[in-house]
Structure 1
Amino acid sequence: MLRSATHTPTVVTVEFDTGTQARFHAIWLRDNALDPETRSPGNGQRLITVGDIPTDIRIDAAEVVDGDLRVTFQPEDKSVTFPSDWLATHIYDHDQDADFGRTAPGITTWQRGIDAPVAHWAEVHATPAVKRNWLAAVAEYGFAKLTGGPTEPEALLKVADLFGYVRETNYGPYFEVRTEVNPTNLAYTGLGLQAHTDNPYRDPVPTLQILYCLENSAEGGESIVVDGFRAAEKLRDQNPDGFALLAGYPARFEYKGSDGVCLRSRRPMIELSPDGELVGIRFNNRSSAPFVDVPFDKMEAYYAAYRQLGEIIDDPAMGVSFKLEPGESFIVDNTRVLHARLGYSGAGSRWLQGCYADKDGLLSTLAAMQMATPEAAE
């Protein structure tokens, strides 16, 4: 609830009943007006452009009505009400967090010792609260397991159906992870694989990966996940200049392992938003192309930082390991969490299927579920 409101022609200052004060500009308030002429009542999309707002927009009156803010704009002579809880959610009048390489609110970084988030197949499909919590774990930690699923081929597609859609690639809607003769990708061998993010050569990169176990009687082959954001934090703390190099210059990635396919990208290994927030990791030595965008006098330092990041990622203290049993799967945020595999023997069988999906679908499903039950978001 609002306690008071004062204004100048260009700024409204409000005080909430908590004692918090906040200022809002006239142009910002007019652009974000919630009336049906400005926003579609059905979907909330804006019906005006910024060019439709008069250049001389000004506040003629601002008052508290039933705890909410009522503003009158000139020269339109237009009055709009802004709910106090909406204003509280959208305050921008505060010191912006400018820590270089920080993680976003709601992200928890981790290393070995964390209990892998896990849910049961039947419960996720039957109980909305369990599904919501499973999705929330993926959003917060970047990975989660699912147990007790069917052992039939293509069951992984039902995992993607829980929140969105499969992202089809040149590998098809899904791909097989089992030993092959003359494989097109090292994932299809029994070799161990260093922790990596998948498909860094794509732009945009697939943001989620699902791996689903159908058979696993081979010796070895444990899955390992590593929090790339925690690794980046460690590099930032140990070598700030090296962190800045990996974030400040693009690496290059390439894949051309099958006929008719030549995928290339040019993106930094550590990706930051313009205001310094950590938003992505691309790390895959197998798919790295020659780095040609780093200045000559910085190349050795760049490689030193690259090596250091790799050593952090390879540190056994960073990884959470588990062996998938038939009917079990795990999902990773491919923009953040690296996954690895220990080598396995030719005896027995190991058959996984994998597919990609998009994180925006998962976050959308989660947000809709949290809006339906607001207490779940607290």
Structure 2
Amino acid sequence: MDVFVEIIPGTYARQLRVVEGSRETRFHALWLRERAPDAETLDPRTGQRLIEAAALPLDLALVEAGCDGEKIELTFSDGHQARFALHDLDREWPADAVHERWDASLTRMPSADFTHALKSDDALAEMLESLERYGFVKVSSVPLTLDGMMPLVERLGPLRRTNWGGIADVKSIAEAFDLTMTQRGLEPHTDNPYRDPIPGYIWLHCLSNADSGGDSTLADGFMAAERLRRDDPDAFECLTRTSTRFRYVDDEAHLESEGPLIELDARGEVNRVRYNNRTERVPPLPPEQLDRYYAARRAFFALITAPELTLTPKLAPGEMLIMDNYRLLHGRTAFRLSQGIRHLRQGYVDRDTTASRRLTLRRQIGASPYSLQESA
């Protein structure tokens, strides 16, 4: 493919225009200079910058530009010369996240096999790409031991420890210190929004389940947020602009944090939802602002509890859900035990280690962000 480059006239020579076929990209001279891929600018081993970018002159300009089809050769007004590979410039653009929004019509759940993901990088990559794409994945064949999830956790990074320790029990007990330890149903929620940082991924491993009830409920918070944006844009804007607070207090912990129920990234896309009725503590905002907030929150709640947006899988012993706690709203139906005990084990793994493993595997084995291993 022919490539055309030119220094754009009328910009004080501070912009480079690159045309590849029908695609045109513009680059700022200072942006290019601070990324010059040479040993004077970037450390060859670490790729970290050696020069102080903030000290470069703001009027830095381009003097010469040329391209041989694979590399762009530039000369800057400070005398520095650099050669950029075209494919390296392409990689500087952040890849769009592959988030497939879903509702109750999702007929095939993203799934993985514990043993395969433990032994095979290809299987682990597929599991992590599924998790990124859908916000959850169901894992089968998990060992029926208290720490059965740990070998797979350790393939990603450390387990996140909290005031409850590492992996915690989720089962009905007398004098429960948390509503998860009762037999009542739990409304859709995200976990621990009172922490900073909020745990990134929930690992929920079933050792035994109730004979009646105890089904999991899953709702895609990104889908619900986009439905709200479409159907009630004023409510959507309110929930993105109003910061609420969350608090958890017991004899040994006092945890507080804040943030909006719907959080947007720099491009205006939904990148996090928070919802936890049990721990939300709305600040004493002006009454008029609270009128809007309560109405908007009610509209969002109607969506995340709507049957048409909710999946209700029931975990069997040896099955595990891994859930994106920045996206997925999970709960459960009420249950009754005629015998035995409903016993699940839950742990948290942070986002940075999970994302790092996924992206490293994608680079090493060429895993596609669209690859997915599904089963009914």
Structure 1, 143-152 or 311-320: larger mean CA deviation: 311-320
Residue by residue over 1:319-363, the C-alpha shift from the partner in whole angstroms, topping out at 9 and shown as x without a partner, is 112111111101110011011111111323211110111122111
Aligned partner of 1:266 among 252, 258, 266: 258
Correspondence for 1:13: 17
Matched, 1:314 2:305: yes
Distance 2:265 2:6 in 1: 35
Letter matched to residue 30 of structure 1: R
Q: Percent identity?
A: 32
Matched, 1:61 2:64: yes
Q: Give the ranges of 4+ consecutive aligned residues of structure 1 lying more than 6 Å apart after TM superposition.
A: none
Distance 2:69 2:130 in 1: 39
Measure how far apart 1:291 and its partner are.
3.2
Residue by residue over 1:132-159, the C-alpha shift from the partner in whole angstroms, topping out at 9 and shown as x without a partner, is 1110011111100110111011112223
Matched, 1:22 2:25: yes
Measure how far apart 1:375 and its partner are.
5.6
Aligned residues: 363
- Matches of residues 193-212 of structure 1 in structure 2 within 5 Å? 193-212=186-205
Letter matched to residue 85 of structure 1: H
Matched, 1:328 2:327: no
Letter matched to residue 128 of structure 1: D
Q: CA contact under 8 A between 1:2 and 1:84: conserved in structure 2? A: no
Measure how far apart 1:315 and its partner are.
1.0
Correspondence for 2:357: 365
Measure how far apart 1:223 and its partner are.
1.0
Q: CA contact under 8 A between 1:2 and 1:64: conserved in structure 2? A: no
Structure 1, 45-54 or 202-211: larger mean CA deviation: 45-54
Aligned partner of 1:344 among 307, 331, 335: 335
- SS of residue in 2 equivalent to 1:324: coil
Q: CA contact under 8 A between 2:210 and 2:335: conserved in structure 1? A: no
5+ residue gaps, structure 2: 371-376
Cα pair distance change 1:313/1:306, threshold 3 Å: same
Letter matched to residue 278 of structure 1: V
Aligned partner of 1:42 among 15, 29, 45: 45
Letter matched to residue 152 of structure 1: T
Distance 2:275 2:125 in 1: 30
Aligned partner of 1:163 among 134, 147, 156: 156
Distance 1:349 1:214 in 2: 9
Letter matched to residue 343 of structure 1: A
TM-score scaled by structure 2? 0.92
Matched, 1:237 2:237: no
Aligned partner of 1:79 among 78, 81, 87: 81
Q: CA contact under 8 A between 2:125 and 2:367: conserved in structure 1? A: no
Aligned partner of 1:303 among 288, 294, 297: 294
Distance 1:116 1:49 in 2: 49
TM-score scaled by structure 1? 0.91
Residue by residue over 1:56-99, the C-alpha shift from the partner in whole angstroms, topping out at 9 and shown as x without a partner, is 42212111135210111222x2211111112234469xxxxxxx
Distance 2:153 2:353 in 1: 9
- Matches of residues 161-200 of structure 1 in structure 2 within 5 Å? 161-200=154-193
- SS of residue in 1 equivalent to 2:115: helix
Letter matched to residue 3 of structure 2: R
Residue by residue over 1:234-276, the C-alpha shift from the partner in whole angstroms, topping out at 9 and shown as x without a partner, is 11111110111111111111111x2121111121111112442
Q: CA contact under 8 A between 1:22 and 1:91: conserved in structure 2? A: no
5+ residue gaps, structure 1: 93-103
Q: CA contact under 8 A between 1:214 and 1:326: conserved in structure 2? A: yes
Distance 1:270 1:29 in 2: 35
Residue by residue over 1:96-154, the C-alpha shift from the partner in whole angstroms, topping out at 9 and shown as x without a partner, is xxxxxxxx641111111212111111111122221111100111111001101110111
Measure how far apart 1:47 and its partner are.
1.9
Distance 1:112 1:38 in 2: 52
Matched, 1:225 2:218: yes
